[in-house]
Amino acid sequence: MRTIKFFDSLEELNRFAAEKFGEIARASINSSEGNFTVALSGGSTPKSLYQLLASDEYKNKVDWSKVFFFFGDERNVLPDDTESNFRMAKENLFTTLEISDKNIFRWQTEFKNAEITADNYQSTIRKFYEDNNKAIVTINDCDCPRFDLILLGMGADGHTASLFPFTEALNEKQKMAAANRIEKFDTTRLTLTFPVINNARNVIFLVRGADKTEALYEVLQGNFQPEKYPAQAVKPDDGNLLWLIDSEAARLLN
């Protein structure tokens, strides 16, 4: 099921997102699996959401000891690099909440070789799911974990995670984690793939800013061109898709 909600400000968007995060987390923790797996988004938009989740107002609404953090994507940099999505989450969420390292699974970019990092991450996810009796579902050719929640952003070009237009990883149907060459940035990024994203129980997009207006119109109301607008390919097979959009990004939408 797809739901789209609009907000006049990022603050209102974040409040709704924080409430939703808490709802999903508590439902997952209270389920037979007894824990909550979330893949965090990188970029700048979610930073204020992470700060809100770690604030006095929200931090006591979730049993963080039962929350296990993964990352939807990562730059191929060391974890203390200013570009690192892990570092952003650590600074704005993990440190304040005193999250144990045992509950955090980052892409181990120390390998330098992105393909090894991606294969390692896939093994890390799989091992966690097998050791903790979490659901792994076979979708087409992918034995994919079912994340309880995947947070995503969307770039001004319609990319999501590090699934950029016209890049190899868009077509990955078997692996759940890939190294993806991004020619326009002359770099290789690390990303979860569509099979695992579309196998999530819940996917929440956080989209704000005037620079997203055109891409968001194309993604939500344009022709289906997922190679050109990869965010269009996020369609959970058996999960909830929630778009949280601010008024600037929504300007062209009916």
Give the residues lining the site for ligand 6PG (CB under 6 A).
Answer: 41-45, 72-73, 85, 153-155, 159-162
Amino acid present at 227: E
CB of 130 to ligand 6PG, least distance (A): 26
Q: 10-29 vs 45-53: helix axis angle to the nearest 10?
A: 60
Shortest-Cβ-distance residue relative to ligand 6PG: 153
Q: Which is nearer to ligand 6PG, 35 or 105 (CB)?
A: 105
Give the rounded distance of the alpha carbon of 203 from its chain centre.
8
For residues 243 and 226, what is the distance between their CA atoms, to the nearest angstrom?
A: 17
CB of 155 to ligand 6PG, least distance (A): 4
Q: Which of 175, 153, 173 minimizes the C-alpha distance to 164?
A: 153
Question: CB count, 10 Å around CB of 85?
Answer: 25
Instruction: Please say whether the beta carbons of 139 and 239 come within 8 A.
Output: no
CB of 220 to ligand 6PG, least distance (A): 16
Beta bridge partners of 4: 243
Q: Which is nearer to ligand 6PG, 25 or 151 (CB)?
A: 151
Q: Which is nearer to ligand 6PG, 28 or 162 (CB)?
A: 162
Q: Which is nearer to ligand 6PG, 35 or 165 (CB)?
A: 165
Instruction: Please say whether the beta carbons of 19 and 51 come within 8 A.
Output: no
CB of 153 to ligand 6PG, least distance (A): 2
Beta bridge partners of 242: 3, 204
Q: Which is nearer to ligand 6PG, 35 or 46 (CB)?
A: 46
Question: CB count, 10 Å around CB of 113?
Answer: 13
Eight-class DSSP state of 185: G
Q: 3-class SS at 163?
A: strand
Q: Which is nearer to ligand 6PG, 159 or 175 (CB)?
A: 159
For residues 121 and 198, what is the distance between their CA atoms, to the nearest angstrom?
A: 18
CB of 38 to ligand 6PG, least distance (A): 14
CB of 177 to ligand 6PG, least distance (A): 14
